[in-house]
Structures are given as C-alpha cells and as structure tokens.
A and B are shown apart, each in its own frame.
Chain A
C-alpha cells in the first residue's frame, strides 16, 4: 500500500514566502511510518552496497517479517541481494519453522540455517552500525559516532559490523506497519485455542504429551504469543486478539493496565531490545 501524505497541521505556521518567483515549497510530507520505511530501506541499501559479504539475521519473528518486507522493497524488482541466516539456537515452535520455510520460498529469498546451541551475545547500544573486532567482540568504547545518515562501513578483513535498520521503530510501529502493509506473520501471534499448560504462572504451549511435566494436564486455552524469543519457555498470554488491529488495540490497552505478568513485560521489552542488541547483519 502507499501511505497517505500529511498535510501541515496549521498553514499559518508555514514560513511566509514574499518573493512571488520563488518555486512552490513542498506542500506535503511523509507520515511517520513512511519516514521510518524510507530510513530503513536506505540503511539496507547502504549495507548491501558497502559490505562485501552481507547476511541478514532472520529470527522468523514479526520484526524479521518487517525486515524482509523492507528488503523486498529496497531491491525491487531485483531479489534480496543477501542470504537470510536463521540461527537455530534452541527449541522452536513447529509453526515457526513451517512459516520460515514456506515464506522464504514464496518470496524467493536464500535461507541459511545454522544450528547453534549458544545464543548470540553482543551489545549494540542504540546504534545503527555497531562495530565488532576480529574476535567478534563489541567494545562500547570503540563504537563510531553516527551523524546524519552517513555510516562508516570501513572495516578490516577479520572485523564485522552489525547493522540494525529498525533502530527507530517501536514495537507499536512494527505492528502498525504489519497492518498497513499486510505482512504475513507466524500464526502464533494470533489468538487461538491451543493446547497448553500453566507453568510457574506462564502459559506454555504443548505440542506432544512428552512435554508435560509429572502431574500436568494440557488444557485448551485461547492464547497467543507476544514474542517468539529463542528461549524455550517463552510464554503465551490469554488473549482474544485474532487480527492485527486487535493485537494493536490489546497492546495499547496493556499500557494502561497494571501489567499483570512480569514475564510478559520482559518479553515485550525484550524482543525489540534484543534485536537492537544483536543487530541484524
């Protein structure tokens, strides 16, 4: 879809143009999602143009879905000029793997799956480019200032840079964009009746009886996942939100209520923050 452009809020605030020969100034501008989109596409293209072997970290989650759409847009009508790398750190929900395989095939993206028991540990603070030395280490004191949209991509052979094109996106922006763009996401995000148990206050989805601990019984709970972190114990929440607008509404209303479940808060903060720390490339 194309985003509507924004009319100035108050015409009286426009600078007065006294010289009649002066060409007309722009009477419209981009909305906030379109601005974020333009910025992210720019970053994706910079990464593809300036690095010799870029790869996009793909986690199957909603942020990754947004990243994929942005990458499709950035290089259209060409294919995405770098492979996607899914680091399979631990147990994943079957729906995720199914979604990963069918969706990447559908859009013709190259997918690399790397089995790795250890989660990636790196920090990127709030930068778009974070520099890592030849040991893959991130040194907070050795990060480059980021000015305007001018990124310094100069690195030596053994060094690397993590790029985070969604730096200025909030969780809500991600959902709004998924809605506006009609982006496919893993069905686990939508509320449905699912087999689950309540364990230590968290709702844990159950796919086979083997997963039940002694004394537990699976029950049908209408629930959905708020994030698809790589932790096996990522919990679901009770929810009726079975469409993206309903998810957005739920998110906004959560803000006002006391957040009843600490684990959920953590996840909500976590998914975006984690990405921010890990970067994408």
Chain B
C-alpha cells in the first residue's frame, strides 16, 4: 500500500526525493488483548497521518457496521485492510506501511490472544472508563511502569491517548490540557531506536563466500553490529585466526565504512579459513564461544517441548544440533511468576538451559539482538518449533571435562610453554639480585633492553617476602629478565620460586653480596655477562612450532 503523506505544495519534487532518502525506518507493533482497541488505534493513526485512501474512508462511512459508538469506526479501516489482504485466511500478523515527512513506518499488526496480555487488558479496560482525568492516567502510568520493570523494559513512555476521539494520536488533545508531552505520532517520529552498542563490538556472521575466480575471495554477510573500515583487525571464529579488512567491496565501488545493519562483502588481507556459519569479530570485544547457555524460549508448536529431545538450532548463519537440557521454570505471562515445568506447551515461555554440539558465538539478547537470538527446528518434521533469546552466554554449572571444554572452543588449546616464551623472547628468564643499587639497576635495564632483552626492574622495598616470591614467580614465568633491588633475600627464600615453570637455579645470580668495595662498573660487567649466558643460541630458534605469525 503506497501510503504516504502528501507532498506539501511549497516543497518541490526534487526536495521530496532528497528528503525521502534521509528518512529512516521504524518498525513497531501493537500489543493488547482481543477487543482492546488495537485496530481502532491503528486505523486512527493511519487516518490522521493521512495514510489511507479517500475511497477507503468513504467505504467505511458507507458501512452498516459501526461498533465504535462514534461517528466513524476506525477499526473498520484496519480490519478492512486486513480482510482485503487476507481474504478470510487466519493470519498471525499483518504488516502496514506508511510514512510521514520524517520517517517510514512498518506496523506489525498482531491479533490479540486470549492467553496473553491479560494485564494489559486490565489496564486498557480501566482506561476506557478514565475520561480525560489526569489522576487516572497517572495511576495507570504508575501501574504500567511497575509491570514493565518486571519485564526488564528500561525505557517506557506513557502517552494519554484516545483512539476513538483522536486525542494525542496525531494532533494534541484539547481535552487533556494537563498533558504537554508529544503525541503518539510525534513520539514515533522522533524516538531514538538505535541499539546503544559501541562501534567496536563488531559481529559479522559470514553468510556467503563470493568466489568468482581463483584470485578473488569475498565474505558476504549482514553486519550484525558495530562498524568496519579497511585496516580494521578482526578475529575469525572458531579458528581464532587474526586478519585485517582489506576492502569493503560493493557494486557501487569500495566503501570507506560499513555500519550495522548493512549487507556487505569483505576482502581480507590474508588467506584464512572462513566459511558460512563462521563469524568475524573485533578482538577487543569478543562474543562468548559457548556450547551451553541459558535462554528464554517461546514454544511455537502443538507438540510440547521436552528436555533432551534432539533439535536443530539456527543462530546467525549457523545451524547446529542442540537439545534443551533443563527447563528451569515456566513464566506465567499474567502474573510473571516462575512455575516449575516438566515440559513446555505451545505459546508457553520458559527459562531453559540449552546445549549444542558445536560452539556458538553468542551475546546476550539484551546486548545484541542479532547474535543473541535463535530459532529451534524439529529435525524430523523440519518445522520451526521455538524461538529463543540468550540470557547467560556461558553456563559453568554444566559438568564437563577439559577435553569437551576445548572441543567447545573448536580449536585445540595448548598451554603456552616456557620454551615457546623463550623462543619468542630470544632468551631464557633470569633474576639478578642487585642489593640496594637502584641507579645501577636502571642503567642495566636500559643497556639490556637496548640489547634485545625483555627486562624489568623490580623494586622490592617494603614488599613482604611471600608477595615478593609471588612477583618474582610471575615475572620469571613470563620469561623476563628481572633486576631486583632492595630485596632482602636469603638463598633459601628463593626455594619458593622452584614452583615456577622451568625454574633453574643457574638462572639466578646474587650480586648483592658482592664485596662492597666492588664498584658499580664491575658489578655491571658481571651482570651483563650473566645476561649473555641467558641468550638463546641461533640454532635453538630453528624450530618454528608455536611461534606466533
């Protein structure tokens, strides 16, 4: 239905076209029980926003049916559209489209359901009796806010309207002088609906690999969140490989930037293992890589949800085998109370624990809708049986072996060994005790650092022995050369260090006990020659295993 606000006469067509490109798109829905007046409200909104044809209005005027008690039954406008489009077939949701000078709107016109929203029904039926009283409105607002807080809805805007009278729907009401806020349409036109996610939380599920010839490999998909530019570093999941964006390619030429929810194609700087179902993410804000998580599930099938039943789960572009391990509780939609449940009937909502056979790259639904939502599919009938919203992305109360943990990551994990660190640093770790020669320590640090050593000064003044041991162990384990000053250590105190991986006594030299007549230059020479012995010989660099790229 090409419903659009008429062009103002003063505005040229070119201006209209320019302005139209700058409109954004807001989807919204109505919620309420049967006969709450959803159709009347949508009809009123479309009518007052001049988004219906005159002949449609005329046909409603001519209609013998009028359930509204007023001169014009706005619900017929909505239901008339509905009937026209559905031709008698029961429909779960119908969409209506209209636009104003500021925005384009898609209304998901949902039918009321007896089973749901009795709370809202109470609210709405009270409102019928409200007249235009501010006190009644304030009471309803308070009740609704308290109800909404239980649902975890953080931003609620209450607007007193009458769909029957058209008060505050599109134009401000004269009947409610006490209300100075925006009208419903005014609110819809200006409300900011961007998900407050930072630019750097990139989630790019790979949807399709474009490979026109052997030289070109493009990764296509819809950017689920964040923004991307050429040169950005990304991590591929599940491989964990790092890469960089070479270009954002497109039919209209390369782009300098892409923002969610654009559908884009990326060229990457290096060849990495990446296919449909994998995900490119920003290294600074990783999603959970998880096989077990908790979720709020809505069950959509006549056959109830039972635990341990085999299911398929689709999340982003990933399809995996899954099962519900446990139903924590069912949520009573009217009282919002938790109830114990063995199974979940159609239209039931429950908190469940899900386990998948392959890892998913997850965010909580509250943080990221696109990476926190999933559907459940029955592998035998292929029917879509459930919809889920991720809550906790990782469950650690699920007993698992270390191997399974690693399998969950989809990569083989190996501990970082002392040898690997030594290869990277080019030297073994070492500890030099330098007594109270703080100045010497600083100049040695400079000299050794410039000579390629990973070296640090540890000033132990005031540090108690157990803490000092712990510091030394950490720094030693990290593979560093430690210049320790102001430590009053006895040889036996270093015994605690032997717990550190690959600790060797000959990696420690105590220069603090050096004859006080020795000058700094002599001590420095001894320190430098000791450090030289820590250096790896060139041939021990030969093995590249575990060396980072």
Contacts A35-B24, A35-B261, A156-B382 hold; do A150 and B91 have CB atoms under 8 A apart? Answer: no
Interface flags for A33-68 (1: CB within 8 Å of B; 0: not) read: 111111101100110110000000000000000000
Q: Can you list 9 A-B contacts with CB-CB less than 8 angstroms, sorted by A residue number?
A: A23-B201, A32-B103, A77-B249, A145-B300, A150-B375, A154-B379, A155-B382, A255-B2, A256-B54
**CB <8 Å contact, B383 and A144:** yes
A148 to B368, CA, bound (A): 12
A172 to B16, CA, bound (A): 13
Least CB distance from B211 to A in Å reads 7
Question: Which of A's residues lie within 8 Å of B, judged by CB?
Answer: 1-10, 13-15, 17, 22-26, 28-39, 41-42, 45-46, 48-49, 72-79, 123, 125-126, 140, 144-145, 147-150, 152, 154-156, 167-168, 170-173, 176, 179-180, 245-246, 248-249, 251-253, 255-256, 258-259, 268-269, 273
Which residues of the partner chain B approach A269 to less than 8 Å between Cβ atoms? Answer: 1
**CB <8 Å contact, A76 and B384:** no
Q: Taking the complex as formed, is B351 at the interface, i.e. its CB lies under 8 A from any CB of chain A?
A: no
**CB <8 Å contact, B55 and A258:** yes
A47 to B312, CA, bound (A): 19
Which residues of the partner chain B approach A155 to less than 8 Å between Cβ atoms? Answer: 382
Interface flags for B170-197 (1: CB within 8 Å of A; 0: not) read: 0000000000000000000111101011
Contacts A74-B263, A75-B220, A148-B369 hold; do A10 and B315 have CB atoms under 8 A apart? Answer: no
Which segment of B59-67, B252-260, B354-362, B500-508 sits at the interface?
B252-260
Interface band, chain B? 35 or more
Residue of B nearest to A268 (CB): B2
Contacts A245-B17, A248-B17, A252-B6 hold; do A74 and B220 have CB atoms under 8 A apart? Answer: yes
Residue of B nearest to A8 (CB): B192
Q: Taking the complex as formed, is B528 at the interface, i.e. its CB lies under 8 A from any CB of chain A?
A: no
Which residues of the partner chain B approach A26 to less than 8 Å between Cβ atoms? Answer: 194, 197, 199, 227, 259-260
**CB <8 Å contact, A125 and B89:** yes
Which residues of the partner chain A approach B25 to less than 8 Å between Cβ atoms? Answer: 30-32, 35-36
Contacts A32-B24, A155-B382, A255-B3 hold; do A25 and B196 have CB atoms under 8 A apart? Answer: yes
In B1-31, the 8 Å CB interface with A consists of 1-4, 6-7, 13-14, 17, 20-25
Least CB distance from B62 to A in Å reads 14
8 A-B pairs with the lowest CB-CB distances in the bound complex, closest first:
A23-B198, A41-B263, A32-B25, A154-B382, A78-B212, A32-B104, A172-B2, A171-B2
A145 to B501, CA, bound (A): 56
Residue of B nearest to A174 (CB): B2
Which residues of the partner chain B approach A256 to less than 8 Å between Cβ atoms? Answer: 6, 54
**CB <8 Å contact, A150 and B207:** no
**CB <8 Å contact, B4 and A252:** yes
Residue of A nearest to B104 (CB): A32
**CB <8 Å contact, A38 and B377:** no
Question: Which of B's residues lie within 8 Å of A, judged by CB?
Answer: 1-4, 6-7, 13-14, 17, 20-25, 53-55, 85-86, 89-95, 97, 99, 102-104, 106, 189-192, 194, 196-201, 207-208, 210-212, 216, 218, 220-222, 227, 249-252, 255, 259-263, 265, 276, 300, 312, 314-315, 317, 369-370, 373-375, 377, 379, 382-384, 387
**CB <8 Å contact, B24 and A23:** no
A24 to B370, CA, bound (A): 20
Most B CB within 10 A of own CB, among A8, A147, A155, A171: A147
Least CB distance from A30 to B in Å reads 7
A35 to B207, CA, bound (A): 18
Residue of B nearest to A156 (CB): B382
Q: Which of B86, B197, B374 contacts A25 (CB 8 A)?
A: B197
Contacts A6-B24, A13-B191, A152-B384 hold; do A23 and B200 have CB atoms under 8 A apart? Answer: yes
**CB <8 Å contact, B23 and A32:** yes
Which residues of the partner chain B approach A123 to less than 8 Å between Cβ atoms? Answer: 89
Least CB distance from B238 to A in Å reads 19
**CB <8 Å contact, B373 and A6:** no
Seed contacts A30-B261, A32-B23; 8 additional CB < 8 Å A-B pairs? A31-B25, A39-B261, A49-B317, A147-B387, A152-B383, A154-B312, A252-B6, A256-B54
**CB <8 Å contact, A140 and B89:** yes
Least CB distance from A178 to B in Å reads 12
A58 to B6, CA, bound (A): 32
Least CB distance from A158 to B in Å reads 13
Residue of A nearest to B313 (CB): A150
**CB <8 Å contact, A38 and B261:** yes
A269 to B97, CA, bound (A): 13
Which residues of the partner chain B approach A126 to less than 8 Å between Cβ atoms? Answer: 85, 91, 93-95
**CB <8 Å contact, A78 and B21:** no
**CB <8 Å contact, A9 and B190:** yes
Least CB distance from A271 to B in Å reads 11
**CB <8 Å contact, B383 and A77:** no
Which residues of the partner chain A approach B312 to less than 8 Å between Cβ atoms? Answer: 154
Q: Which of A48, A73, A172 contacts B4 (CB 8 A)?
A: A172
Q: Which of A5, A37, A46, A179 contacts B259 (CB 8 A)?
A: A5
Contacts A2-B252, A75-B220 hold; do A168 and B3 have CB atoms under 8 A apart? Answer: no
**CB <8 Å contact, A6 and B22:** yes
**CB <8 Å contact, A144 and B190:** no
Least CB distance from A87 to B in Å reads 23
A176 to B4, CA, bound (A): 12
Residue of A nearest to B223 (CB): A38
**CB <8 Å contact, B55 and A31:** no
**CB <8 Å contact, A170 and B1:** yes
Least CB distance from A54 to B in Å reads 12
**CB <8 Å contact, A4 and B194:** no
Contacts A72-B251, A170-B97 hold; do A179 and B196 have CB atoms under 8 A apart? Answer: no
**CB <8 Å contact, A125 and B382:** no
Residue of A nearest to B94 (CB): A126
Q: Which of B22, B194, B255 contacts A31 (CB 8 A)?
A: B22
Which residues of the partner chain A approach B315 to less than 8 Å between Cβ atoms? Answer: 150
Least CB distance from B499 to A in Å reads 37
Contacts A144-B384, A150-B314 hold; do A28 and B259 have CB atoms under 8 A apart? Answer: yes
A268 to B14, CA, bound (A): 24
Most B CB within 10 A of own CB, among A31, A39, A156: A31
Q: Which of A38, A42, A246, A252 contacts B7 (CB 8 A)?
A: A252
A238 to B379, CA, bound (A): 55
Which residues of the partner chain A approach B220 to less than 8 Å between Cβ atoms? Answer: 45, 74-75
Which residues of the partner chain A approach B20 to less than 8 Å between Cβ atoms? Answer: 33, 176
Which residues of the partner chain A approach B314 to less than 8 Å between Cβ atoms? Answer: 150, 152
A106 to B382, CA, bound (A): 40
